[in-house]
Every structure is written in structure tokens, then in C-alpha cells.
Amino acid sequence: EVQLLESGGGLVQPGGSLRLSCAAAGFSFSTYGMSWVRQAPGKGLEWVSAISGSGGTTYYADSVKGRFTISRDNSKNTLYLQMNSLIADDTAVYYCAKDPAGLRLPLDYWGQGTLVTVSS
Amino acid sequence: DIQMTQSPSTLPASVGDGVTITCRASQSISSWLAWYQQKPGKAPKLLISKASTLESGVPSRFSGSGSGTEFTLTISSLHPDDFATYYCQQYKTYPYTFGQGTKLEIK
């Protein structure tokens, strides 16, 4: 059974930093790409970033480019999102999702999400 | 970026009704379209991939169709469990983009 468990969310001041983690289990982690998707309170879904299975290729939404960094540790089956220079608009639930883009498949498994609140 | 536009934003319906949600892409995405269902406080759940392929375990009352720029999600006879918000998403290319969502609510 595929399991994705996010952690690291919380309250942070504008301009601050936070690192999210996503622990994966139940599939061959290094074989698949992974994505982060966020959802602001009461709003729709916004794709944030993706990384290939090897970690060698990354993609970012324009809204976070230069501020967020996606990475992974395949030895620990863990995905990360380093978030710097946070602004109020980054307030959202952040989901990690398995992203089999190489197989021409969409985001097929999602974690339960972790809430990030940017406020003074 | 590819823009995804869903309609309607809200869809009042009753148990037993058949409903259709439309999703339009700003450029051709072939069949690289997914549909998700999301309930309050929960993560999205993948229902359909490649425009019309039903995921394992998804009831057959759900169906998807379309290609290019026009897509539809149809629920043939609503069950109480189907009242939720539905999103389309293109996965032809990064950045992935979602429609704004359609909230299916009880009339």
C-alpha cells in the first residue's frame, strides 16, 4: 500500500523559512518522480514543484521559483521542500504526491497534507 | 503555461441525477487530462487518467471523455458520497495546471 506522510508545517513569519518532508512507503521510491501541490484556505489546487526519480531534474511554478527548492533522499525514501522568503500568499496546505510523469500518468497518490501558515 | 477552465463552478444536484462537468484547455493537451475528487479536509483522489481511463476501484457511474482542448466528466446517477469538489488537471507538460474546481452540492 502506497503511503505518503508530510510533516514540517507550522506557523512562520513573513520572510522566514521552513522545510517540509514527505516520507514515502509502499513503492519503489527512487523509480518515480514526486510533486508538491498546495491549496490555500478555501481555494483550489496549485502545483508547486516536481522532481525526477533520480533527483537530477526539477521543475517549479513561477510563483515559487527562486524561493523554494525541491529535493529528495532516495536512501531515506523522503521528499523535501525547502521554502525560503515566505510570504502570506504561501499560506496553504501542502501535499506531496507520487508523480509517475515518465509513465505518462498523473498524480496518483497523495499524502494527507501539512499546513503552512505565514503570518506575523 | 496551459490554462484550464472548468464549468460550472458550482453544480446543485440531487441524488439520482446525472451531471456533467466541462474542462477546457487553452491549447491542445491530447488526452493528458486527469480528474480528481476532493472532500473537505481530505487530499484529492485520482478518478480518471488519460481523459477517460477509470482508476481501479472508481465506480462505473463515473466516466470521462474528450481530447485536444475539450473534456467532460460525467456522473450518470449521483450517490450521496459523490457530493464533493472535482478538479481537472493537465499533465501534458510542467507546470501542471488545474481547473478552478466544480463544487457538486446537494440541491
Interval B36-52: pLDDT, tens = 999 999 999 999 999 99
Spatial contact of A91 and A118, defined as CB atoms under 8 Å apart = yes
Query: In this structure, which amino acid lies at residue A89?
Result: D
pLDDT tens digit sequence for B46-93: 999 999 999 999 999 999 999 999 999 999 999 999 999 999 999 999
pLDDT tens digit sequence for A58-114: 999 999 999 999 999 999 999 999 999 999 999 999 999 999 988 889 999 999 999
How far apart CA A60 and CA A68 sit, in angstroms, is: 8
Give the minimum alpha-carbon distance from B78 to chain A in angstroms, rounded to a whole number.
Answer: 23
A46, A104, A108 ranked by CB distance to B46: nearest: A108
A50, A107, A112 ranked by CB distance to B46: nearest: A107
All 3 cell numbers of residue A20? 517540509
For B94, nearest residue in chain A (alpha carbons): A59
Coil/strand/helix, residue A88? helix
All 3 cell numbers of residue A113? 497534507
Query: In the A/B pair of chains, how many CB contacts fall below 8 A?
Result: 60
Spatial contact of B32 and B59, defined as CB atoms under 8 Å apart = no
Expressed in angstroms, the distance from the first to the final Cα of chain B is: 36
